[in-house]
Chains A and B, each alone.
Chain A
Amino acid sequence: MIKTPRVSRRHFLAGTAAAAGVAGFPGILKAQPRTIKVGVLHPVTGPIAPSGQQCRLGAKLAIDTINANGGIASMGGAKLEPIYADAQSKPDVGAAEVEKLNEAGVSAIIGPFASGIALATTQAAAKHNIPHIVDVGVVDQVVTRGLTNTFRFGPGLSKIVDSAMENLVALNNQAGKPVKTVMIVHEESAFGAGMAKTLNEKLPALGFEVLETIPHANPTRDFNNIALKVKGRNPDLLIPSNYYNEFVLLARTLRQQKIRPKAVYAILGGAASQYRFVKEFPDAAEFIMDCNHWFDPRNPVALELKKKVEAEKAFFSYEVFLNYECVRLLADALERAKSTDRAAVTHALASSGWSNHFMPYGPTKFVNGQNQGAAPVNTQILQKDIKVIFPKDFANAKPVFPAPKA
């Protein structure tokens, strides 16, 4: 179990003092600070708390590391001071928390994992010109509304689907086109439904026949029916797009019903890129592929971080490393801005060309808030480990495609 970061009385007091003082003494905030306040806003309670808590862990580890290494050098070693906020898995609470962070005097906000919440928090932050780094929030609209304070480090949904399709075609061609028919099983909220829609537009053009698209609720209590349908249709390829719980049940049910398509190719698969899943269901997980956020597996910083996270008895998931890198992205911007001033930080982020990260993105370059180099990679679960199989520049294993017959 991870120790939850303790409330420090100092943070608490600082927050309220700032809240009380903003009206009276706006000038004081301008003085050179010993700390730089950073809003860390995630849904750490409510239905998506599992992801939110992982996110917070990633941000916390990054802040601790940066502070341990001497803080922001260009500002006299000023330390980052995280101000944690909880969106409670609700957009309205998220937006209200932004107001609180604003009054606490944060220089930037990192978060809030879910797209629905991100739409609300980026907007709220825009009113106060707070630079807002979106950690995950893949829905395209997060960065297409012309908000100049919003920066998304990772890829958006369109980009992810495009890459997933490109890579799928490449994989399939490489293996001699074993896959012709496809079935899609997706969760029915924003990300799964949006994904299924795009897939249905793109797959036929690429020469794949979509046999059936099955949406399901969150939570779905039983996947036997869906498994039966998959069995009946017998597609070459199954594309699941769902959250962790449902993915686990689906994979488990497929195994129980002895259903093995030629390949299972998840896109942002809830569990297919999660070490927890691999550890708890090694047999059901083997050979599953995923197109998802992933780190460069050869980067020593990433591997070191992975060890650190595992030492905290947590799993090294994309929530953790994306937030870790978002904090470092901010640190790089602060280093260049030499100021806690929000406009200066926003400017520094907009002109960011940071290359010292462990994501397979290349140097950062933001156009309308979207990091242009950001892209997902393809992973496959091979011998109880998650390996990168695509693109070649980052791969540390060869794809096993189609999966061998049981």
Chain B
Amino acid sequence: MLEFSILLPAILNGLTIGAIYALIALGLTLIYGVLHIINFAHGSLLMLALYGVFFLHSLFGIDPYLALPVVGIALFGIGYGLQRFVIGHAGHGRDENILLVTLGLSVIIENLALYLWRADTRTIETPYSFETLDFGIAFIAVPKAVAFAGALLVAALLWLLMTRTDLGRAIRALAKERQGAKLVGINVEHIFAMSFGIGCACLGVAACLLLPSFYVSPQVGHAFVLVAFTVVVLGGMGSFVGALLGGLIIGVTESLGGLFFGESLGQLGIFLIFIIVLLFRPTGLLGQKA
């Protein structure tokens, strides 16, 4: 039995959780779109960013939202370094090697975190953790509303970066035509690393916006990786607006699926959408033909 009164709040709620998915997927879609890498380490890097936010808060009392520039830049650096010095050298012209290397990296990062910080779940409490906005039909927790706005902003910024800057143009050129980009003098390795770095920086932002309403543990990345891939595919690989739209759609699907079919079986909706999009429109909603 379903009351109409919880339908609207469920949709609203799906949008806020979808925004988080979009945030995480934004970085992934950039990496996927440019480097054509299935980045298995994406979840572990998110976890690393979340720990960054956690320790900045618990050791230095820095508010997660204020930690944003620090974590964002740190993650950019990590991403740049990983691509430039590890992943970039692993390919040897074979995709499966890249896959293995990101898999290996995720095992390393995850277990290093387990060793250093133990397996415990950590949470932070901020003054606004329990604050809610009353929308009349529903309460939306403040951290979730902030994350929603953040996702829109990050998507817009990325879009600007990609269309209005030389860096963005170089990245897009590289995504489309690797050989051609090389010929016109684009430093391929540098641009690849920049893309990976920016993708990771998005994770840093996502972590800052996520932690006030979530938790961190060495395993936390697993909760988001598959969904993020779904969002990327649905939106179209490499498309930021697509990722944003995809995130929101997946969020609402999950929310309504949970409402109609139960939280457990309702997860099916995500993967069915995923499979259907892959079969019938593999370029996604807004992706370009490969």
Contact = CB atoms under 8 A, between A and B. Distances in A.
Among B111, B119, B129, B227, max chain A CB count under 10 A is at: B119
Interface of B: 3, 5-6, 9-10, 13, 16-17, 20, 111, 114-115, 117-121, 123, 125, 129-130, 132, 138-139, 141, 213-215, 217-220, 222-224, 227, 255, 258-259, 262-264, 267
- Pairs of residues from A and B, 6 with the lowest C-beta to C-beta distance, nearest first: A49-B119, A216-B263, A50-B119, A219-B223, A224-B13, A215-B264
Contacts of B219: 46-47, 49
A136 to B, nearest CB: 16
Interface string A340-358: 0000000000000000000
Given A219-B222, A221-B224, A257-B139, A276 B120 contact: yes
A256 B222 contact: no
A23 interface: no
B263 A225 contact: yes
A222 B143 CA distance: 13
A228 B259 CA distance: 9
7 contacts: A45-B111, A50-B118, A215-B263, A219-B220, A225-B13, A256-B130, A257-B132
A316 B263 CA distance: 32
A228 B115 CA distance: 38
Interface stretch (A116-124, A200-208, A244-252, A372-380): A244-252
Interface string A37-56: 00000001111011011000
A216 B263 CA distance: 5
A315 B263 CA distance: 31
A53 B111 CA distance: 14
B137 to A, nearest CB: 11
A222 B263 CA distance: 10
B224 A217 contact: no
B36 to A, nearest CB: 28
Contacts of A226: 258, 263
Nearest to B123: A280
Contacts of B215: 245, 248-249
Given A50-B217, A225-B255, A256-B141, A1 B118 contact: yes
A225 B20 CA distance: 16
A53 B139 contact: no
Contacts of B130: 252, 255-256, 283-284
A272 to B, nearest CB: 15
Interface in A213-252: 214-217, 219-222, 224-226, 228-229, 231-232, 244-245, 248-249, 252
A189 to B, nearest CB: 10
Given A219-B222, A221-B223, A225-B10, A4 B119 contact: no
Given A217-B267, A245-B215, A225 B258 contact: yes
